[in-house]
Structure 1
């Protein structure tokens, strides 16, 4: 069966010859050998990018949680606070050990307030070879801020990460991906090279911001524990099966076009014993496939920016 690109090319050539029609198209050579139309610069077949959100400790009082949102005004949801505490007491430490066991380096999107509350843990993430990316100062609604307010908000988060870990974030993730009209301009001004608040593709692409190249390394909601586990109440088995099916399809597509897969874990969700076990099974399965490479998002962005064949929008 021809690829969509091959079909459109064939249809276009026939159209120019005045031959487009059901009989002409059916006579076109559809059984063609699929050939790579795009490949990663490093020779990878499929690049997998793992996110580990470091948010716990930076959340507002009575933040959303699995508990019913029925607290009487003026009172603090104490059990909910412990659900978040699990993220830095158990979740991230468990995931860090698992990444080491699997030989995977991830991107950790760090909320500034969470980093300042748990500096030793933030520093450990970087010391173990993972990327420290920015995730705002706290959980404030940045898209509603003025230009200057938002710039300071982003900068405060960056400074927290720099102060604690010594690393300068190159990538950005807004709270629930909800950036504002000025966000990308601000990120470019502050020296960022990419953002992830985009779901439109299964591969990185380049856009123009302030007249310069800026990378987009697409994120995911389909392979995201906060959406599937906390939001839709999938079991760990269901999460594993869904993400595995996504991998199988993208791996098949990667035989003839550039593909990237994003998987996301949050400290208090992805760091539970059952989810770490599911992640182990999932990534062990992926690693058995030839040409599958795990990369931090800053490395993916750099590779995309330096590759003339990267999609531009």
Structure 2
């Protein structure tokens, strides 16, 4: 159990709700996924346009410095996360993809060039998913099984396509605090929906607003306390050019200090959480056949 390095708050059960029966492996009371969206320049190009060199210059921090700092932090804490890659960013820096893969992190898809899936036809989405998945597979030798849509903007085609293409999880729909098995095609294995939140996104603290890292940590800590009391899941979203900068990266180290010191929070890759949930649902169905 580690001593907090960057924050002076210690784990406490004061004011929490009565603990619920654990649903996570090995008696863990809650789960935490650290997902890192590696957009390169393409997220800000999709949002601000290719001619806005201010934002493009800011986002170049992503692959030059931010991703490496986040990899070092994760290695320091010996925890694994999920790196969601824009395909073009992966093509630009396959060395960064390999570094994350070789460190034991999951590699997932995040669109080819960060255009929104909500604006794409079904066939366009299909081509985008396959192209991104294939590039990542060619770099790592392992086929991605997870997807997060750019800007979390999806449409009615997205989940059915993910299921048809064999993806096992998606992180787009903030509909609750637990995973949900989605089965648009009942005959196929489900897509496990892992719920994100804009309140667990570094953009909300360091781009939409600019505030001290401790404010992000304090909100995430308080949310984790409630989720731990209820036996639920937090899906954190970071961007290397935002949460990977020197000061903002302290929000992550403070949260990891806190979560590890609690001793009963499962910090895991998205694919591991999704697999656990799918197996749990299967076991519950076998125990309680309809």
Q: TM-score range by the shorter chain?
A: 0.7 to 0.9
Take 2:239 and 2:246, find their aligned partners in 1: how far apart are those partners? 13
In the alignment, structure 1 residue 287 sits paired with structure 2 residue 260: yes
The correspondence for 1:297, drawn from 261, 267, 270, is: 270
In the alignment, structure 1 residue 47 sits paired with structure 2 residue 31: yes
Q: 1:282 to 1:37 in 2, by over 3 A?
A: closer
Take 2:198 and 2:73, find their aligned partners in 1: how far apart are those partners? 22
Show the counterpart of 2:196.
219
Take 2:264 and 2:22, find their aligned partners in 1: how far apart are those partners? 14
Range 198-207 or range 75-84, more displaced: 75-84
1:27-72 deviations in whole A, cap 9, x for unaligned? xxxxxx95744522442211111111110133464844xxxxxxxx
Take 1:58 and 1:310, find their aligned partners in 2: how far apart are those partners? 42
Give matches, 1:153-232, under 5 Å.
Answer: 153-211=128-186, 212-232=189-209
Larger gyration radius, structure 1 or structure 2: 1
Q: 1:310 to 1:204 in 2, by over 3 A?
A: farther
The correspondence for 1:140, drawn from 90, 110, 115, is: 115
Task: Give the drift of 1:239.
Answer: 0.9
Show the counterpart of 2:210.
233
More contact order relative to length (CA 8 Å, sep ≥ 6):
2
**Helix, strand or coil: the match of 1:277?**
helix
Take 1:57 and 1:283, find their aligned partners in 2: how far apart are those partners? 28
How many residues in Structure 1 have an aligned counterpart in Structure 2? 267
Give matches, 1:1-313, under 5 Å.
Answer: 36-59=20-43, 61=45, 63-64=47-48, 76-211=51-186, 212-254=189-231, 259-308=232-281
Q: 1:204 to 1:61 in 2, by over 3 A?
A: closer
Take 2:179 and 2:125, find their aligned partners in 1: how far apart are those partners? 25
CA contact (8 A) 1:107 1:130 kept: yes
CA contact (8 A) 2:111 2:149 kept: yes
C-alpha RMSD of the superposition:
2.3
**Helix, strand or coil: the match of 1:250?**
helix
CA contact (8 A) 1:236 1:275 kept: yes
> What TM-score results when the alignment is normalised by the length of structure 1?
0.79
Unaligned runs of 5+ in 2: 1-16, 286-290
Range 93-102 or range 197-206, more displaced: 197-206
Take 1:233 and 1:275, find their aligned partners in 2: how far apart are those partners? 10
